[in-house]
Structure 1
Amino acid sequence: MERESLGFDPNTPNVARLYDYYLGGKDHFPADRRAAERILRVAPEVRAAARANRAFLGRAVRFLAGLGVTQFLDIGTGLPTRDNVHEVARAVAPESKVVYVDRDPVVLVHARALLADSGQTTVVEGDLRDPHDIMKNPDVVGALDFDQPVGVLLVAIMHFIGEADDPVRIMTAIRESLAPGSYLVMSHGTSDARSAAVTRATDVYRRTDAPLTLRSRHRIEELLAGWELVEPGLTWLPQWRPDQADLIDFADHPESSLVLCGVGRKS
């Protein structure tokens, strides 16, 4: 996520297009498919993990909308797919407003074409490494009332933030910008997962536009400091308030989902 446009390069694997490939989408190129298949040969569970991550996002948004949260800030939204945040939120609370933020120019083109509407959904270019710029962006401020609770979604994005970018600073800046009663939804790839999957994924993503920084459970918990985690706390993807269908791929080994997740409230 950079202030300057990254430009379009179909020859460098792109993390948004890799995720689209795992989900069975169509917005990817040969370089993306080759990179994804290198991971899948060693860690075929990545496809199911991507689906589980998307399912967690939907469950978390429904949960927050059910609590009365009607404002959502989705940072690192990725390419549009089924059950986008505004669709899920409005199925529970039709008045919900959603701001999608991404740095990828291709994501932004797709999002503006498919997600933006006349008033309740906004698409903004932004860089998570500059959280203040996002929170003070005129389009963001014009769409969301930060004096009221907001649900911030950092789903499968913080593991693209390196330690040199000071992730604690980023998390603190976001939390301090929000009113009490706001929520954070986060999922994060972990180095505590199967070592072969971790090694191959880290190697492949080093050659993409956004290298991976997988973190231990302890380090992810440190990033969530200051948030009051709702039950069941920090869990593997299929363990967070699952529907029955969410358990099918990971009935015996939830750790095969490779990603930890949680929802926290600001008191």
Structure 2
Amino acid sequence: MIFSKERPFLLVGAGKMGGAMLSGWMADGIDPDAVVVSDPHLAADMEVLLKRHSIRHVTSAGEDLRPSIVLIAVKPQLMDQVLPGLKAVVQPDTLVLSVAAGTPVSRFQDQFGQVPVCRCMPNTPAMVKRGITAVYPTEEVSAAQKQEVDGLLSAVGKVVWLDSEDQINLVTAVSGSGPAYVFYLAEALSEAGRAAGLPEDLASELAVATVCGAGELMHRSGDTPATLRKNVTSPNGTTAAALDVLMSGDGLQPVMTAAVAAAARRARELAD
């Protein structure tokens, strides 16, 4: 590891995403003595986690810290108040990681100078170690640092590396916001079942189990979504009848394409 008790890993913000990643790292066996959490408003479950592992907690990063890695996991609207307080602890060789949507690497280098920065876009399935995180590294990030980042983020799911920071907005629109689309699919399927005549509780149970099971099957099988779809579609059967609607010219694909485009557009607006 490139961090230690003397040059720790500093997590700034232990909310939903930061907390999920921290839980994954502890389960992965990272030395808790090499981790410091800076958050003035810890949730109760995070307090329990920190106490269980004896992780050092501070309400703000003091000048006594000399972190090797700083992960910034606060909401984008808090950057103006958080970043100035980190200037005293970010060294020229400190690796800065950010999981904040809409915050370009230039924002961090304006604050800290030409330090190595990795802009990361995880998603909430990281909470159950099934996330996927896209990473854009600046040219200052060394091979050893990339390897360390890959190891850290792999503890909560898959890692993919980007060639351009512009791709982050597109990743945000697909995988960053994507879990919400899937949750809404379960809602819509449940409502369709209710509208067809099923009791509300049963429709909801069937929809949630179907979405979860299909996702797990897709994960384990290694087949493409298109192949799996074809495998469960008999000619002129019930599934084919439903897909005729979903795959029509005004069906799901154009709606999903418009939704992703809207999310990407908003991501670009937040970065301006």
Do these two structures clear the TM 0.5 threshold for a shared fold by scoring above it?
A: no
Task: Compare the two structures and name the one with the higher helix fraction.
Answer: 2
TM-score normalised by the chain length of structure 1? 0.32
Where relative contact order (Cα < 8 A, 6+ residues apart) is larger, the structure is: 1
